[in-house]
Amino acid sequence: MDRRHFLKWISKGILSASGFWLCTSRDAWGKSAFDFALEGQNLIAAERFAEARDALKEAVRLDPESDWAHGLLGRAYYGLGQKTEAVAAFREAARINPADTYSRMMIEIITQKPIPRPKKSESPLTPLEKKARAEEESMFNRLTPEGGLAYRVKRVVIDPGHGGFDSGAVGPTGLKEKDVTLDLAQRLKRRISEKGKIKCFLTRTGDYYIPLSDRTVIANQYQADLFVSIHINANENRKAHGCEIYYCSETASSKEAARVAAFENAVLKYDEPFKKRPGYIDIEEILFNFERRLYWEESGKFAGVFQNRFQQALPFKSRGVHSANFFVLRSAKMPSILLETGFISNYDEEAELKKASIRDEIAVAVARGLLYGSG
């Protein structure tokens, strides 16, 4: 029996002396919901998905509030190719246990469909279209080990900052950062997915809150080659304007970079802290601390290459590349950057950020930086 599930069932009182063997969540043969769920888990491991589905349907019938059983049922349905049923099961697991990151991730994987490519035009290409096509081919086929990432990016996770009760920065006329970042991320995903060369995923697809630590967990679970967190800047100085690129470092590159990181990290007070027992030694964390430096160095190199491409199509002034200790980037097991795309506190830039055309321009600029910069 899995230790985590064993402890979980203890906490629910299933193993209490007063009720474990007399538990009402049993079928006529005396098998409990836990028995069926455990049987389903073993069948999934053996890739006997149809049998697993039947066992797990019985488990959730006997115990409708078991997020573990619903999550396993989702895996069984997914193994059978029944995606609609899988999503329903994973959603039920996430409803019962909002901290179930795996179920939320599976919902994202199943529901995010690739954007269909437009049909090729029968009319001959103009000289300008031919030049654009040649440039696009060069963009995808060229590797750039001297700058940027030394490997081709195949999977990228885009993180729309804030969400839910966490609105982020709010502009002078009420524009919310969380709404702009989500729209920008969705536009960017469409731009990248249209090319068909890179798989793109979002950490959130709606107006809900995800803890900072879970955002990089999602990127790690997707096994992304690149993680990009999108934000909108704010400053007490209403005249501050432009876009900035950040990568993670222990110390900030400037007082302004430290201020931005402190603002973005402020939401940590709402995240549930992970508590380790006294004397616990996390070997994986120790090993990752060595790897982290390499990811940060690679992030810094990539940020420089990204900046050169990004600023060429950007509708706002570029304020360059900076570094600071951003919690949302710290645990990413891949190169990662954070974009501050304009100042929502600036009256003019807030007005521009409301326009769909400007958001499209920003998405094009970011896509250009990612696709060129990644080789």
CATH number at residue 349: 3.40.630.40
pLDDT at 29: 55
What average pLDDT does the segment 83-94 reach? 90
Q: Same domain, yes or no, for 106 and 151? A: no
Q: What percent of the chain has pLDDT over 70?
A: 75
| Residue 122 domain flag | no
Q: Is the pLDDT of residue 276 over 80?
A: no
Q: Same domain, yes or no, for 106 and 132? A: no
Each residue's pLDDT tens digit, 1-17: 444 444 444 444 443 33
Residue 253 vs residue 144, higher pLDDT: 253
- Number of domains observed in the structure of the chain: 2
For residue 375, give the nearest of 113, 220, 216, 197 by alpha carbon: 197
Q: pLDDT band for 104, please (50, 70, 90 cuts).
A: confident
Q: pLDDT band for 136, please (50, 70, 90 cuts).
A: low
Q: Same domain, yes or no, for 60 and 107? A: yes
Q: Same domain, yes or no, for 107 and 164? A: no
Q: Which amino acid is at 239?
A: K
Residue 368 vs residue 138, higher pLDDT: 368
Each residue's pLDDT tens digit, 293-332: 778 888 888 888 888 888 888 889 989 999 988 888 888 8
Q: Same domain, yes or no, for 105 and 151? A: no
Q: Which domain holds residue 48?
A: 3-111
Q: Same domain, yes or no, for 212 and 279? A: yes
Three-state secondary-structure class, residue 201: strand
Q: How far apart are CA 4 and CA 10, in angstroms?
A: 10
Rounded to the nearest integer, the mean pLDDT of the chain is 79
Q: Same domain, yes or no, for 220 and 334? A: yes
* Plot region of 291 (φ>0 → left; ψ -120 to 50 → alpha; else → beta): alpha
| Residue 212 domain flag | yes
CATH number at residue 74: 1.25.40.10
Q: Same domain, yes or no, for 223 and 155? A: yes
| Residue 26 domain flag | yes
pLDDT at 134: 67
Q: Is the pLDDT of residue 264 over 60?
A: yes
Q: Count CB atoms within 10 A of the CB of residue 110.
A: 16
CA atoms within 13 A on the CB side of 221: 19
| Residue 123 domain flag | no
Residue 228 is given by DSSP the state E
Mark out the alpha helices in 1-126 (DSSP H runs). Answer: 3-11, 33-45, 49-62, 67-79, 83-96, 101-111
pLDDT at 331: 81
| Residue 119 domain flag | no
Q: What percent of the chain has pLDDT over 90?
A: 37
What average pLDDT does the segment 171-183 reach? 96
Q: Same domain, yes or no, for 88 and 193? A: no
Q: Is the pLDDT of residue 336 over 80?
A: yes
Q: What is the 3-state secondary structure (H, E, C) of 118-183?
A: CCCCCCCCCHHHHHHHHHHHHHHHCCCCCCCCCCCCCEEEEEECCECCECCCECCCCCEHHHHHHH
Q: Same domain, yes or no, for 235 and 300? A: yes
Q: Same domain, yes or no, for 200 and 100? A: no
Q: Same domain, yes or no, for 297 and 367? A: yes
